[in-house]
């Protein structure tokens, strides 16, 4: 029976002393994980022992997640509660969890590749022997699942549990090796232990979400949820349905889409799902299918003649801590407007006649407002920039930022009677033919 999962207050969880002694202080290796938890929360439940007589649960697996959650002020965490017969059994469990943690998913699957090469011929021999033996026994033909046995053996040898989980892992790995971009982005998360095999497998099966059964909304309000099947966690990741709708309405299958500020690669993964070709760049690439390029020096020549340029710049002053003060997020406002104008004009040069630009911009409502201002209307400045570059405006689509705030931010805004900014717009414009 599966261990129960409960949501526990963070104060009731304590780092395991043994884990600290064996694996060191988790504080020293939190940067990546913290960025991801800030965006997506803690995806995988911690494993904890039942409460002791002080009311505390010792963490068996998840010291790093707990340390990050404390830093980010998260108050509750999902925990799988595991009871142990005695202290040695608890310690062994902790070591086993950590032993598994120390091998990345891709390392395990490479081990499995080697084992497949050894185990599959053995399984084939066993199948042939089995067939010979049962030749005259119709009742026993097909009765023994020898392939299943090979999967079971390999799963055990690499420490991955049973054959079902191994088969899920295998299909993810096969898709990775076949060059499937979404499987490759899942692999990054699997290797960082920010996604479970089962979740990655489910994501892979959702690959057709924007192809065969895609039913686009006919309205110009695009309020969608994030979906981890597309892109890898990134401070500015957007719901993939925003990209999917843009591609549906403003490109054709086979068209070339360019994303010069690709972040976690949402555009790349949606393009793969919808049969569009994608060229992606970023000043700080997060994955191997994004090339390093600073859009302030224009858009690479190889993108010339493309059909759509999707622009999701770091919003002025928002997330400046995540992107760094030297990026456009940290510029004075006049510099930000100049940046918009330069990018719009580079996009105009690069697009094929009749091609589209899609520019996603949020209102600035919180920080660094000019004296007396309640907000800055970035869509207004974006509109001016694209018209100045020579584009013909087509549509302003409302893409509210649902769920972009942590519960503590919502609580604080309620206490202070303050509105939280969710207004975000996608401006679509066409290059004249």
Binding site for ligand SAM (CB under 6 A): 231, 234, 236-238, 260-261, 263-264, 266, 282-284, 294-296, 312-314, 323, 327-328
Q: Is the dihedral of CA 80, 188, 277, 292 positive or negative?
A: positive
At closest approach, how far in Å is the CB of 176 from ligand SAM?
20
CA distance 277 to 257: 6
At closest approach, how far in Å is the CB of 296 from ligand SAM?
5
CA distance 393 to 383: 8
**Are residues 74 and 108 in contact, defined by beta-carbon separation less than 8 angstroms?**
no
- For 326-333, the CB contacts below 8 A with 24+ separation are 327/283, 328/296, 333/368, 333/370, 333/376
Decide whether 160 or 241 has the Cβ nearer to ligand SAM.
241
DSSP string, 138-193: GGGTT-S-HHHHHHHHHHHHTT--SHHHHHHHHHHHHHHHTT-HHHHHHHHHHHTT
Decide whether 234 or 316 has the Cβ nearer to ligand SAM.
234
CA distance 320 to 28: 23
Decide whether 77 or 258 has the Cβ nearer to ligand SAM.
258
At closest approach, how far in Å is the CB of 353 from ligand SAM?
25
Decide whether 116 or 341 has the Cβ nearer to ligand SAM.
341
Q: Is the dihedral of CA 363, 369, 374, 376 positive or negative?
A: negative
Decide whether 82 or 234 has the Cβ nearer to ligand SAM.
234
CA distance 153 to 69: 37
Task: Tell me which H or E stretch contains 106.
Answer: helix 105-133
- Detail the DSSP E strand segments found in 184-267: 256-259
Decide whether 240 or 255 has the Cβ nearer to ligand SAM.
240
Decide whether 123 or 243 has the Cβ nearer to ligand SAM.
243
At closest approach, how far in Å is the CB of 256 from ligand SAM?
18
At closest approach, how far in Å is the CB of 312 from ligand SAM?
4
Decide whether 62 or 236 has the Cβ nearer to ligand SAM.
236
At closest approach, how far in Å is the CB of 204 from ligand SAM?
19
At closest approach, how far in Å is the CB of 411 from ligand SAM?
26
H helix intervals, 206-332: 240-250, 266-274, 320-323
* Dihedral angle of Cα 203, 209, 212, 218, to the nearest 10 degrees: 180
CA-angle at 39, arms to 77 and 32, nearest 5°: 90
At closest approach, how far in Å is the CB of 172 from ligand SAM?
21
């Amino acid at each position: 029976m599966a261990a129960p999962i409960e949501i526990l207050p963070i104060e009731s969880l304590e780092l395991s002393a043994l884990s600290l002694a064996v694996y060191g202080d988790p504080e020293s290796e939190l940067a990546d994980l913290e960025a991801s938890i800030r965006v997506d929360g803690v995806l995988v439940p911690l494993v904890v022992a039942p409460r002791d007589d002080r009311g505390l649960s010792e963490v068996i697996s998840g010291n790093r997640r707990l340390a990050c959650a404390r830093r980010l002020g998260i108050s509750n965490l999902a925990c799988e509660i595991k009871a142990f017969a005695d202290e040695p059994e608890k310690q062994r469990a902790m070591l086993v969890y950590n032993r598994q943690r120390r091998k990345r998913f891709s390392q395990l699957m490479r081990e499995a590749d080697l084992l497949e090469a050894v185990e599959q011929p053995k399984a084939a021999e066993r199948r042939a022997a089995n067939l010979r033996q049962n030749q005259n026994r119709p009742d026993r033909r097909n009765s023994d699942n020898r392939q299943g046995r090979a999967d079971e053996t390999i799963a055990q040898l690499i420490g991955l549990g049973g054959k079902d989980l191994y088969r899920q892992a295998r299909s993810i790995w096969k898709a990775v090796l076949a060059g499937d971009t979404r499987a490759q982005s899942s692999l990054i998360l699997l290797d960082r232990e920010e996604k479970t095999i089962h979740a990655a497998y489910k994501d892979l099966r959702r690959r057709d979400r924007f192809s065969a059964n895609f039913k686009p909304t006919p309205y110009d309000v695009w309020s969608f949820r994030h979906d981890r099947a597309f892109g890898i966690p990134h401070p500015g990741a957007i719901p993939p349905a925003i990209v999917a709708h843009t591609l549906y309405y403003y490109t054709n299958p086979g068209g070339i889409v360019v994303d010069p500020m690709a972040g976690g690669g949402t555009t790349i993964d949606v393009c793969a799902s919808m049969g569009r070709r994608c060229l992606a760049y970023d000043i700080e690439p997060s994955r191997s299918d994004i090339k390093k390029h600073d859009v302030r020096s224009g858009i690479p020549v190889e993108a010339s003649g493309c059909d759509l340029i999707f622009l999701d710049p770091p919003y002025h002053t928002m997330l400046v801590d995540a992107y760094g003060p030297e990026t456009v997020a940290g510029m004075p406002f006049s510099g930000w407007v100049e940046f918009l104008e330069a990018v719009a004009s580079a996009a105009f040069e690069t697009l094929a006649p009749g091609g589209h630009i899609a520019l996603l911009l949020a209102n600035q409502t919180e920080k660094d407002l000019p004296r007396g201002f309640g907000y800055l209307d970035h869509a207004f400045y974006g509109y001016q920039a694209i018209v100045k570059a020579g584009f013909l405006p087509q549509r302003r689509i409302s893409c509210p930022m649902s769920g972009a705030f942590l519960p503590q931010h919502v609580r604080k805004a309620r206490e202070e009677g303050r509105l939280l900014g969710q207004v975000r717009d996608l401006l679509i414009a066409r290059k004249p033919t």
